[in-house]
Amino acid sequence: MAQLRDKILIVEDDTGILKFLKTTLTANNYDVVLTENGKDALAMIYSHCPDCILLDLGLPDMDGNTIIESVRSWAKTPIIVISARSTETDKATALDLGADDYLTKPFGTLELLARIRAALRHTRTTAENDEIALKGIYQVGDLRIDYNKHRAFLGEQDAGLTPNEFRIVALLGKHAGQVLTYKTILHELWGPSASSDNKILRVHMANIRRKIEPNPDEPCYIFTEVGVGYRMASND
Ligand code: CA
């Protein structure tokens, strides 16, 4: 039986990058559809139903953020932004509008493919990581998040997280591989009226890292996207 391939829509007006992406993705067994402008992109999302969208922000006819907003009003198709815009505000804006991930140009092929795999996995697993849904556990390396016991373990050792620290780790685990912005984390954990002060999150994270990371200065489980948010390591 022929394997069903995932279809990736590339929206990019730089023909050099477009060609590179097309070649790379085709060589890695993805079906590729592409366009250089926003208007066609929106039409193609309807007509082609891609499994994932790679989206440049600086398009000739519209801003990519407009596309994110539009798509999110009716579809959950994963969107990975690929952009030369590299400020923390640019990243946070796109992620808060509903982009799943953000890659700053230039980026490496392996990084791109890893992000695409992570994005595709998220759509296959309803709202939560399938491993968590099945076993109530997310495991990466020695770190085990037990959602039934509300505890995190390092090997057999209870990491001793406080309830709030556990909630942060649990949330990141459910979205492993994906950047969650400070705003998203604060809202998810403490509701829409939560303070937008990231300081409390940084304090919690410093404590969490002290408890779970072999070397808190070079984390291997929870990574910082500077000025944007945090990402839990994927277990693939
Ligand atoms: Ca562009």
3-state secondary structure 107-159: CCHHHHHHHHHHHHHHHHCCCCCHHHHHHCEEEECCEEEECCCCEEEECCEEC
pLDDT at res. 217: 93
Rounded Cα distance between 179 and 184, Å, is 10
Contact 196, 186 (CB under 8 A): yes
CA of 169 to the centre of ligand 1 (A): 36
Summary mean pLDDT of the chain: 90
Write down the residue that tokens 């209870």 correspond to. 158
Given a cut of 70, whether residue 128 has pLDDT beyond it is: no
Rounded Cα distance between 112 and 43, Å, is 25
CA of 36 to the centre of ligand 1 (A): 9
CA of 94 to the centre of ligand 1 (A): 15
pTM: 0.71
Amino acid at the residue 231? R
CA of 124 to the centre of ligand 1 (A): 30
CA of 83 to the centre of ligand 1 (A): 7
Contact 44, 35 (CB under 8 A): yes
Contact 11, 56 (CB under 8 A): yes
CA of 185 to the centre of ligand 1 (A): 30
Given a cut of 70, whether residue 158 has pLDDT beyond it is: yes
CA of 96 to the centre of ligand 1 (A): 21
CA of 97 to the centre of ligand 1 (A): 19
Least confident of 21-25, 101-105, 124-128, 193-197: 124-128
Region for residue 155 given its phi and psi (left: phi exceeds 0; alpha: psi -120 to 50; beta: otherwise): left
Q: What residues sit around ligand 1, an ion, with C-beta below 5 angstroms?
A: 13, 56, 58
What mean pLDDT comes out for the span 7-19? 96
CA of 12 to the centre of ligand 1 (A): 6
Rounded Cα distance between 167 and 84, Å, is 34
Q: What is the DSSP letter of 222?
A: E
Given a cut of 50, whether residue 21 has pLDDT beyond it is: yes
CA of 66 to the centre of ligand 1 (A): 14
